[in-house]
A and B are shown apart, each in its own frame.
Chain A
Amino acid sequence: MFKLLKIIARAGEATEKYPFAPLPVSPGFRGKPEYTAQQCIACAACVLACPPNALAIETDAEACTRTWSLNLGRCIFCGRCEEVCPTGAIELSAEFELAVANKADLMQKATFTLTRCRQCDTPFAPTKEIEYALALTAQQGAADSDLESLRALFETCLDCKRTHALAVLDARRYVVKGAA
């Protein structure tokens, strides 16, 4: 009994002060995913990787938009979204104070515009995704005139690329050997 009291005394005040003081968490703690819509290109890599389907993406052809959404109620805080995102648009933070009284407050959404296909006018790819691809190509040193031709290529949907002849462009010039 005496030994037990000694152990308890030595342990001191073991209780964390939280919630009366902030609780420090380890670096790399997997808390709430922080999403920066400005960095998102709506490529859906995160949606495909997410094990509980907390992330979703939905196209509204009529409105010509694509909406990304995150349901924090389903999130398992695994960080696969952060792992696969090509632009760094989503990163897990240290935030853990997530309780809500209203379930709708667990939803986060972001709506992006879609570009219409130059040939068939169907909305098919997020504008930002096309711009990102062009920016990457520009960074590799493509000339402006080539970029304009590439834009024509990028702004054509897959079906049309297959069925319509696209003159002049040799896309192989823009792919560096070994790069993805």
Chain B
Amino acid sequence: MNKPIETPLTFAPRDAYGMPTPLSESEHAAQLKKTLLKDIQRSAYVYRVDCGGCNGCEIEIFAAITPVFDAERFGIKVVASPRHADILLFTGAVTRMMRMPALRAYHAAPDPKIVVSYGACGCSGGIFHDLYCVWGGTDQVVPVDVFIPGCPPTPAATIYGFAVALGLLDQKLKARHDEEAADERAILAHPGIPHELRVRIEREARRMAGYRHGGSIADDFLTLVAQAASARDFESVVGQHLAQKDDPRLSEIFTRLQAVCIAGPQDMQP
């Protein structure tokens, strides 16, 4: 069933069970990399290795080098062979079929080189992280220098990622670990509104306009309810609000929410 392994383990490492393990970077290569960063800032040759991505990342990389984002302004040039590359850009979660091509590209690129892992699939395997036919991210096969999250990363996020890889910009993200403070409490939204009414309004708003618009519409509505001194007052402030927004769809949604208020709890949908 299992044929003897043909490629040397220095090329494609495996553990005692025959499972692939990541290639590690040699000391020598790590040293060379430091000098690379000094030279590379004027022009960087990038070779793209698609390890089984859906192509979303490919297209955004494409967009990053076309006129609107123009990564070529920073000397970033895509090359056709890994032998000419300073930067290897890996996309995809590393499907089984792409493990060897990925390793071949890595070995073909001369040291020193920078390895960038692109997109959620590259960084970690993304939504496919534990599937049978992927290895779960670039760093499962080769050592990685920079990770660019996104699904797909936008061209601007791509340019930012290159800037970090080239040492032009510092990364912004830092690991965070919050510990619960003494007497820390989650604050209730709209404390002046009866809970069951708030739930009914929020649900109807979401059914009408989705979680994002619906959330802010429900907030606006409930704020107006809380502020109103009387039913007539409420009608008046709602009228003003809708006149100012001048959006027929918003008016339609508000009408629905008012109906929900009047209807009372027994008409609520599950």
A interface residues (Cβ-Cβ under 8 A, vs B): 14-16, 18-19, 23, 28, 37-41, 51-53, 71-77, 79, 82-83, 87-89, 96-113, 127-128, 131-132, 135-136, 139-140, 176-180
**Cα–Cα distance between A151 and B130 once the two chains are bound (Å):** 41
Contact status B149-A99, CB under 8 Å: yes
On chain B, the residues within 8 Å of A72 by CB distance are 149, 173
On chain B, the residues within 8 Å of A87 by CB distance are 186-187, 189
Kindly identify which residue among A73, A76, A96, A127 contacts B156, using a CB–CB cutoff of 8 Å. A96
6 extra interchain contacts, Cβ-Cβ under 8 A, other than A107-B176, A111-B177, A128-B180?
A15-B68, A74-B125, A105-B171, A136-B195, A178-B264, A179-B199
Instruction: Render B174-196 as a binary contact track against A, CB cut-off 8 A, 1 for contact.
Output: 11111111001111110100111
20 residue pairs bridging A and B, Cβ less than 8 Å apart:
A14-B67, A19-B160, A28-B212, A38-B181, A41-B186, A52-B127, A53-B130, A73-B123, A74-B126, A74-B129, A97-B172, A99-B161, A99-B164, A100-B164, A101-B171, A106-B147, A111-B178, A128-B186, A135-B188, A139-B188
Given A15-B73, A99-B161, A105-B174, A73 contacting B147 (CB threshold 8 A): yes
**Cα–Cα distance between A31 and B125 once the two chains are bound (Å):** 19
On chain B, the residues within 8 Å of A14 by CB distance are 67-68
Contact status A110-B154, CB under 8 Å: no
Quote the shortest CB–CB distance from A53 to chain B (angstroms). 7
**Is B265 located at the chain interface by the 8 A CB criterion?**
yes
* Residues of A contacting B: mostly: loop
Quote the shortest CB–CB distance from B76 to chain A (angstroms). 12
Given A52-B129, A112-B180, A139 contacting B196 (CB threshold 8 A): no
Kindly identify which residue among B159, B194, B264 contacts A140, using a CB–CB cutoff of 8 Å. B194
Contact status B211-A75, CB under 8 Å: no
On chain B, the residues within 8 Å of A101 by CB distance are 145-147, 164-165, 171
On chain B, the residues within 8 Å of A88 by CB distance are 189
**Is B139 located at the chain interface by the 8 A CB criterion?**
yes
Contact status B149-A106, CB under 8 Å: yes
Kindly identify which residue among A19, A127, A131 contacts B169, using a CB–CB cutoff of 8 Å. A19
How many A-B Cβ pairs are below 8 Å?
183
Given A18-B69, A178-B268, A109 contacting B178 (CB threshold 8 A): yes
Contact status B212-A100, CB under 8 Å: no
Contact status B146-A96, CB under 8 Å: no
**Is B61 located at the chain interface by the 8 A CB criterion?**
no
Contact status B184-A97, CB under 8 Å: no
Quote the shortest CB–CB distance from A120 to chain B (angstroms). 23
Contact status A15-B160, CB under 8 Å: no
- Chain B interface residue count: which class? 35 or more
**Cα–Cα distance between A127 and B185 once the two chains are bound (Å):** 9
Contact status B196-A179, CB under 8 Å: yes
Quote the shortest CB–CB distance from A148 to chain B (angstroms). 18
On chain B, the residues within 8 Å of A52 by CB distance are 120, 126-127, 129
Quote the shortest CB–CB distance from A44 to chain B (angstroms). 14
Q: Identify the closest chain B residue to A108 (Cβ).
A: B176
On chain A, the residues within 8 Å of B70 by CB distance are 15-16
Quote the shortest CB–CB distance from B73 to chain A (angstroms). 7
Given A99-B157, A111-B179, A38 contacting B186 (CB threshold 8 A): yes
Contact status A103-B171, CB under 8 Å: no
Contact status A99-B147, CB under 8 Å: yes
Contact status A16-B123, CB under 8 Å: no
Q: Identify the closest chain B residue to A8 (Cβ).
A: B67
Q: List residues 117-174 of chain B with CB under 8 A from any CB of chain A.
A: 120, 123-127, 129-130, 137, 139, 144-151, 153-154, 156-157, 159-161, 163-165, 169, 171-174
**Is B244 located at the chain interface by the 8 A CB criterion?**
no
Quote the shortest CB–CB distance from A142 to chain B (angstroms). 11
**Is B266 located at the chain interface by the 8 A CB criterion?**
yes
Contact status A74-B160, CB under 8 Å: no
Contact status B69-A103, CB under 8 Å: no
* Most-contacted residue by chain A among B181, B188, B195, B199 (CB, 10 A): B195
Contact status A178-B149, CB under 8 Å: no
Q: List residues 244-269 of chain B with CB under 8 A from any CB of chain A.
A: 264-268
**Cα–Cα distance between A127 and B184 once the two chains are bound (Å):** 9
Contact status A37-B178, CB under 8 Å: yes
